[in-house]
Amino acid sequence: METDKERIIIFDTTLRDGEQAPGCSMTLEEKVRVARQLECLNVDVIEAGFPITSPGDFESVRQISKAVTEPIVAGLARCVEADIDRAGEALADAKKGRIHVFLATSRIHREHKLKKDRGQIIKLATEGVRRARDYQTDVEFSPEDASRTEPDFLREVVEAAIDAGATTVNIPDTVGYAVPFQFAELIEMLKSEVSNIDRAIISVHCHDDLGMALANSLAAVKAGARQVECTINGLGERAGNCSLEEVVMALATRKDFFGVETGVHTRQIMNTSRLVTTVTGIQVPPNKAIVGRNAFAHEAGIHQDGVLKKKDTYEIMRPEDIGLEHGHIVLGKHSGRHAFTTRLEEMGIHLDQERLEHAFQEFKRLADKKKEIYDEDVEALAREETEDVPDIFKLVNFHTTSGISVTPTATVCVEVNGEEVKTDAAIGDGPVDAVYRAIDRITGIRCELRDYSIRAITGGKDAMGQVALEIAANGVIERGRAARTDIIEASAVAYLSAVNRVVKRTRNGQAQKGERPGV
């Protein structure tokens, strides 16, 4: 639909800044899957990684460049030749590529981190942008810690970067220090005082250390910024980045005030949020705006009464606008293959024939145990199918005993390489620990369990429990996930999935992710 509203560019950095959050790393396959979903969401730019930091980051930028066609794919680089060359190389196949170069400009970073004076910073920024332009015509420059940079120097750096060829100038509130009124003034100052600002888009990138990332981003839009950098579920360094779903829905719901629009297909928000939750294992708090479980739940009697009489009394957005069919029972015991496939398609999940058939069989198995099957259940089943984990070790059966004054024991049967079935038993601190010890004896791999969490996917006593865990073994760290109505089975399957990933990675000789320099 054509409108006369100005367009805000949505730059998603879930796969770069989001992935920097502790415990948030994703595999290559997961990143490509998220990138495809971001394309369905219709974001304008996907920052796919920081190629110099590790072979994994390089590969993800390269693969995402090939996997998506509509959004611009961005790769991050410091103003360092090797970084820029590596980003240029990773983006070579992108239909629309962007190199995003950054350099700290605040006094504290200049003096203590970089040990460079103002003149040297201007020179490095200029050279960095010019080198990036050798690879891509679309170049973004970020003066890191811009919100704590002296305004006169920020103006000078931004002007120099645009002169050198930057087409977007991004103003990061790197440490989440800005407050909306002041941040808006900073954007207004750049807009009116940088002589060549009409040759570049002003972008903002806000962190949430003081809980003001969204407010700062919106204030910047009101002041003239035309690109917002954000992440799904607000993931990102420390307290995270401005959350995509919040900024997009704020601009849509209050278009009367902001007078701008984004191209985001808001009905894909829930699918995207769930996918990111699944692949990162980082749960969304129930009260999180837009995508939290309670965001559209009306608990107070007065509110329920009002909503039943007229939704607008207490609802400023419709749940369906973000793709939420809340509390909707999608399928049951009698649902057929067609209903199941249609629902998956509606949820944006695409499986090949073999995986679809397997997911359908699992769904039938679940329907025998659970009367009402919700979107979240279907999603959990289907997501397991999309994980590219080889079935080197596959759970066949298990038996556990536990109780007060009883030593927990487990007997576990595992199929190895689709050939033999091995059985072993162990005791442990609890039934799950006993299962894990028995599995270690079967696989011969000693694993350290670094993280383990379990949550009910939906309400009700028959809800599936989803286990997400992280193990360290053979010098690598891997994650596993599984959802079952039996939580010990879910724990065993999740563990074996992580072990299978370890074996796959060790066989491929892949090293662990490297440290990220300088961000």
Task: Choose among 292, 492, 272, 483: nearest CA to 374.
Answer: 483
Nearer to ligand KIV, 17 or 440 (CB): 17
Q: Does 277 bind ligand KIV (CB under 6 A)?
A: no
Name the residue nearer to ligand KIV (CB basis): 171 or 251.
171
The sign one gets for the Cα dihedral 228, 229, 233, 236 is: negative
> Residue 38 Cβ, how far from ligand KIV at the closest point, in Å?
18
d(CA 415, CA 430): 24
* Binding string, residues 468-497; x marks residues near ligand KIV by CB under 6 A: ------------------------------
Q: Does 142 bind ligand KIV (CB under 6 A)?
A: yes
- Helices in 98-179 by DSSP H: which ranges? 107-108, 118-135, 151-164
Torsion over CA: 505, 508, 511, 516 (sign): negative
Query: Which of Zn ion, ligand KIV, none does 179 bind, CB closer than 5 to 8 A by kind?
Result: none
- Secondary structure E strands in 139-213: 139-144, 168-173, 201-206
Q: How far is the CB of 212 from ligand KIV (least distance, A)?
A: 14
Query: Shortest Cβ distance from residue 174 to Zn ion (Å)?
Result: 6
Residue 142 binds which one of ligand KIV, Zn ion, none, with CB within 5 to 8 A depending on kind? ligand KIV
- By C-beta, is 148 or 437 nearer to ligand KIV? 148
User: Taking Cα atoms as reference points, which of 70, 45, 75, 71 lies closest to residue 60?
Assistant: 75
Interaction residues for ligand KIV, span 10-39 (CB under 6 A): 17
Q: For residue 139, what is the enclosing H or E element? A: strand 139-144
Instruction: Report the 10 Å Cβ neighbour count for 487.
Output: 18
* Residue 442, helix vs strand vs coil: helix
Q: How far is the CB of 229 from ligand KIV (least distance, A)?
A: 7
Interface residues for ligand KIV in 226-255 (CB under 6 A)?
A: none
Range in contact with ligand KIV (rule: CB under 6 A) among 170-178, 278-286, 378-386, 425-433: 170-178
In the list Zn ion, ligand KIV, none, the entry touching 102 (Cβ below 5 to 8 angstroms by class) is ligand KIV
In whole angstroms, give the CA distance from residue 380 to residue 355: 14
Does the footprint of ligand KIV cover residue 51 (CB under 6 A)? Answer: no
Burial track 63-82 (b if 16+ CB lie within 10 A, e otherwise): bbbebbeebbbbbbbbbbee
The listed partner (ligand KIV, Zn ion, none) that binds 273, CB under 5 to 8 Å by sort, is none
Cβ nearer to ligand KIV, comparing 175 with 351: 175
Which partner from the list Zn ion, ligand KIV, none does 144 bind, CB cut-off 5 to 8 Å by kind?
ligand KIV
- How many residues bind ligand KIV (CB under 6 A)? The answer is 10
Of the candidate spans 131-139, 169-177, 417-425, 496-504, the one that interacts with ligand KIV by CB under 6 A turns out to be 169-177
Measured between alpha carbons, how far is residue 149 from residues 11, 54, 115, 217, 518 in Å? Answer: 23, 30, 15, 18, 17
Query: At its nearest, how many Å lie between ligand KIV and the CB of residue 145?
Result: 7
State yes or no: residue 172 binds ligand KIV (CB under 6 A). yes
Name the amino acid, one letter, at 126.
T
Closest distance to ligand KIV from the beta carbon of 333 (Å): 49
Q: Which of ligand KIV, Zn ion, none does residue 519 bind (CB under 5 to 8 Å by kind)?
A: ligand KIV
In this chain, which of 205, 274, 288, 501 binds ligand KIV, going by CB under 6 A?
A: 205
Instruction: Tell me phi and psi for residue 159, to 5 degrees.
Output: -60, -45
What phi and psi, each to the nearest 5 degrees, are found at residue 314? -125, 0
For ligand KIV, the closer of residues 149 and 174 by Cβ is 174
Residue type, 62: R
Helix (H) or strand (E) holding 499: helix 487-507
Do 158 and 191 form a contact (C-beta atoms < 8 A)? no
One of 138, 144, 156, 379 touching ligand KIV (CB under 6 A): 144
- Output the CA torsion sign for 53, 54, 55, 57: negative
Per CB under 5 A, which region of 17-25, 190-198, 405-413, 504-512 contacts Zn ion?
17-25
Q: Are 8 and 226 in contact (CB under 8 A)?
A: yes
Separation CA 275–CA 233 (nearest Å): 10
Out of 9, 11, 17, 273, point to the residue binding Zn ion (CB under 5 A): 17
Between 18 and 408, name the residue whose CB sits nearer to ligand KIV: 18
Determine if 377 is a binding residue for Zn ion (CB under 5 A). no
In sequence order, what are the residues at sequence separation of 6 or more whose Cβ sits closer than 8 angstroms to the Cβ of residue 59?
Answer: 28
- For residue 20, the minimal CB distance to Zn ion (Å) is 8
Q: What does the alpha-carbon distance between residue 302 and residue 297 come to, in Å, rounded to a whole number?
A: 13
Cα separation, 489 vs 366, whole angstroms: 13
Contact criterion met (CB below 8 Å) for 272 and 38: yes
Candidates 10-18, 347-355, 401-409, 423-431 — which segment interacts with Zn ion by CB under 5 A?
A: 10-18
Partner touching 307 among ligand KIV, Zn ion, none, CB below 5 to 8 Å by kind: none
Q: Which stretch binds ligand KIV (CB under 6 A): 107-115, 167-175, 218-226, 283-291?
A: 167-175
Which listed residue (27, 174, 243, 277) binds ligand KIV by CB under 6 A? 174
CA–CA gap between residue 315 and residue 428 (Å, rounded): 50
Which residues of this chain interact with Zn ion, rule CB under 5 A? 17
Which residues of this chain interact with ligand KIV, rule CB under 6 A? 17, 102, 142, 144, 170, 172, 174, 205, 207, 519
